[in-house]
Amino acid sequence: MNPLDFSVEELDRLFTLANDIEKNPAAYAHACDGKILATCFYEPSTRTRLSFESAMTRLGGRVIGFADANSSSAAKGESVSDTIRVISCYADICAMRHPKEGAPMVASEKSRIPVINAGDGGHYHPTQTLTDLLTIRTMKGHLDGFTIGLCGDLKFGRTVHSLINALVRYPNTRFIFISPEELRVPDYIIEMLKEKNIPFEEVIRLEDVMPRLDLLYMTRVQKERFFNEEDYVRLKDFYVLDVAKMTLAKEDMLVLHPLPRVNEISVEVDEDPRAAYFRQAQYGVYVRMALILTLLGLA
Ligand code: NCD
């Protein structure tokens, strides 16, 4: 499952289902009775893995898996293709996170069961994007016509890459990329935006663009993808969203963040009604429930 696997109409059905699950959880409590989800996480994760596990458990299904490559046969040298062939015998659906870009895709080609990409290196993170889109759609009522500021590590942040790829499909989206020079959005994304004639700007100062934003997507500087500690230390606190900066924003601007947060949003902003990041985490469970049901053909 990758960002563009679903059409806009299919995404809409998925979000409507997620909203129904939110309103009516009891109606879905046994929807996956007897089904098994395998979570294969070759890279650290808290919320993505646990939200998948919570989603399957809330649907009445069961979960097996590993949370650390060292405790799987990858440590013995097994390929993801072989691992997934075997897991296909044990589970009905699999969520896979891997440090190598494209690994979940390779696995899905050899798999008899649906494989969901739960993050592949600095590449994509499609289920976080589903979470982001569901949050925006539920809180704002639509997904088109927004000026969205993406701020922080736009180079290594896979959630950013997936979200841009998804939002280009909604009319009148305008992107403002806010990052230090070293952490700019990758060229292949800039090329794609130019090709599609989607308006975008690249800026360094958050304050300058704040008043124009409908949505602000903050991100953490991705420490684990840096080649040297010195660069990370220099860039990690480049942006700190605080109450003073929030006074520059529209009254109905939403602040999103995939979490985990480090220093890029000060905790005082959590009390602001525009801070949507903890609700986002909650929506992550509903959307993964909807995704599991859809991929298992149970929706
Ligand atoms: C993100 C990720 O893993 O890429 N986290 C998440 O899944 N919620 C963002 C991050 O780690 O910064």
User: What local confidence, expressed as pLDDT, does residue 75 receive?
Assistant: 74
| Sheet architecture: strand order including 115-120 | 62-66, 36-41, 93-98, 115-120
- How is residue 201 annotated by DSSP? E
* Average pLDDT of the segment spanning 231-242: 93
Among 62, 66, 99, 60, smallest CA distance to 84 is for 66
Determine whether the shortest distance from the Cβ of 58 to ligand 1 is under 6 A. no
Closest atom of ligand 1 to 45 CA is: 3
Report the distance separating Cα 186 and Cα 101, nearest Å.
15
Q: Look at residues 275, 219, 221, 222 and name the one whose alpha carbon lies nearest to residue 246.
A: 275
The reply to whether ligand 1 has any atom less than 6 angstroms from the CB of 49 is no
* Lowest mean pLDDT across 72-81, 153-162, 164-173: 72-81
Average pLDDT over residues 183-191: 97
Residue with tokens 């059905």: 13
Whole-number average pLDDT of the chain:
95
Q: Is the CB of 159 under 6 A from ligand 1?
A: yes
Whether 225 lines ligand 1, by a CB cut-off of 6 Å, is no
In this structure, the dihedral spanned by the alpha carbons of residues 6, 190, 152 and 277, taken in order and rounded to 10 degrees, is -20
At residue 1, the pLDDT reads 57
Sorting pLDDT into bands at 50, 70 and 90, what band is 214? very high
Give yes or no for residue 291 having a pLDDT over 60.
yes
Whether residue 103 is predicted with pLDDT greater than 80 in this model: the reply is yes
Q: What is the DSSP string of 245-263?
A: HHTTS-TTPEEE--S--SS
Tell me which of 49, 58, 97, 98 is the catalytic residue. Answer: 97
- In this structure, the number of other CB atoms found within 10 A of the CB of residue 14 comes to 20
pLDDT given for residue 38 in this prediction = 98
**Confidence band of 46 (pLDDT split at 50, 70, 90):** confident
Q: Which residue lies with its CA nearest to atom 11 of ligand 1? A: 260
* Residue 261 CA to ligand 1 centre (angstroms): 9
Provide mean pLDDT across the span 150-165.
Answer: 95
Percent of the chain residues past pLDDT 70, beyond the cut: 99
9 falls in which pLDDT band (50, 70, 90)? very high
Distance (Å, whole) CA 29 – CA 290:
12
Domain boundaries defined on the chain: 6-121+284-295, 126-280
DSSP 57-111: HHTT-EEEEES-GGGSGGGGT--HHHHHHHHHHH-SEEEEEESSTTHHHHHHHT-
Tell me how crowded residue 82 is: count the other CB atoms within 10 A of its CB.
14
Kindly compute the dihedral angle of the four CA atoms of residues 201, 202, 205, 208, in this order, to the nearest 10 degrees: -10
Q: Identify the residue whose C-alpha is closest to ligand 1 atom 1.
A: 258
**Which residues are registered as beta bridge partners of 62?**
36
The candidate with the shortest Cα–Cα distance to 135, out of 4, 24, 11, 279, is 279
- Retrieve residue 117's tokens: 């990409």
Global confidence as pTM: 0.95
Average confidence (pLDDT) over 89-103: 96
How does residue 72 score in pLDDT terms, banded at 50, 70 and 90?
A: confident
User: Could you tell me what percent of the chain has a pLDDT over 90?
Assistant: 87
Cis peptide before 260 (omega within 30 of 0): yes
Chain-centroid distance of CA 20 in Å reads 21
Task: Give the torsion sign (CA, 54, 56, 57, 58).
Answer: positive
Q: Answer yes or no: same fold for 6-121+284-295 and 126-280.
A: yes
- Cα 159 to ligand 1 centre (Å): 7
Domain spanning 6-121+284-295: which CATH class is it, in words? alpha beta
From the CB of 47, is ligand 1 less than 6 Å away? Answer: yes
User: Could you please report the per-residue DSSP string of 27-42?
Assistant: GGTTTTTT-EEEEEES
What integer pLDDT is reported at residue 110 of this predicted model?
87
- Catalytic (active site) residue 125: yes
Provide φ and ψ at 39, rounded to 5°: -105, 115
Terminal Cα-to-Cα distance of the chain (whole angstroms):
16
Looking at the predicted structure, is the pLDDT value of residue 74 above 90? no
Q: Which CATH number fits domain 126-280: 3.30.300.30, 3.40.630.30, 3.40.50.1370, 3.40.50.2000?
A: 3.40.50.1370
Residue closest by Cα to atom 6 of ligand 1: 258
Does residue 29 carry a pLDDT above 90?
Answer: yes
Q: Is the CB of 293 under 6 A from ligand 1?
A: no
